[in-house]
Amino acid sequence: MTTVGILGIALPHQTVHRLAQPETWYGLSGAKVTGDAVAAHLRAAAALMKRESWDPQLCTPGSLRTLYYALVHTSDDGLGDSDSRYVAEILLEAVLTAASGAPYVDYEAWTNHSARTLDDILRACQAAAAVAHAYGPGALAGHPQVEPGRTC
C-alpha cells in the first residue's frame, strides 16, 4: 500500500485521496473551509492546552479540559468556528486511525485514554494541522486538492 508521510505518520494513499476530496472541506453549515483555517484552529487548540498545562491523565472525560473543549473554546475565542472545528475533527480521526492501524479511532475516546499524554495530543494536533495545510483548499503547490472525477 502506498503511503504519504506527515510528521512521522504514514497516511495510506486512500486516506490522502479521501482527505483531498472537495467534500471533506465543508463544515456543518455548508460553508467551505480552507486548509489554513483548519490548521490554525488545530494549532490554537493545541496552544491553549499547552499554555494551560492541560494534563489528560488528571482530567476526566467529562471535564472541560479535553481536546474537544479546547477545539470548542478556540471557536468561542474567534480563532476558528464550528465549521473549521468539524473538519479538524475529521482530520484528527484520519491521522489517529492511520497512526494506530485500527480500522477507526474516535479522537475523543483516544484523547481520554488513561495512557494519553499532553505531548501525544499536541503531536496529533500538529499532524492534523499539517494535513490540513497540505491537502485543504488553498493547499501548497505540489499537493493539489483532487477535483471531482479525477483520481490521484
Asked whether the predicted pLDDT for residue 116 surpasses 60, the reply is yes
- Each residue's pLDDT tens digit, 12-21: 888 888 888 8
Q: 15 lies in which domain range?
A: 10-135
pLDDT, the chain, mean: 83
Q: Is the residue at 60 inside a domain? A: yes
Kindly report the number of other CB atoms within 10 A of residue 85's CB atom. Answer: 21
Q: Is the residue at 145 inside a domain? A: no
Closest CA to 38 of 24, 49, 58: 24
Domain count, the chain: 1
Q: Is the residue at 71 inside a domain? A: yes
Q: Is the residue at 17 inside a domain? A: yes
Q: Is the residue at 81 inside a domain? A: yes
Q: Is the residue at 34 inside a domain? A: yes
Least confident interval from 40-44, 74-78, 135-139:
74-78
Asked whether the predicted pLDDT for residue 152 surpasses 50, the reply is no
* Mean pLDDT calculated for residue range 100-105: 92
* Mean pLDDT calculated for residue range 124-132: 93
Alpha-carbon radius of gyration of the chain: 15
The pLDDT of residue 145: 47
Q: Is the residue at 141 inside a domain? A: no
Cα 46 → chain centroid: 11
Asked whether the predicted pLDDT for residue 146 surpasses 50, the reply is no
70 contacts 49 by C-beta, under 8 angstroms = yes
Q: Is the residue at 148 inside a domain? A: no
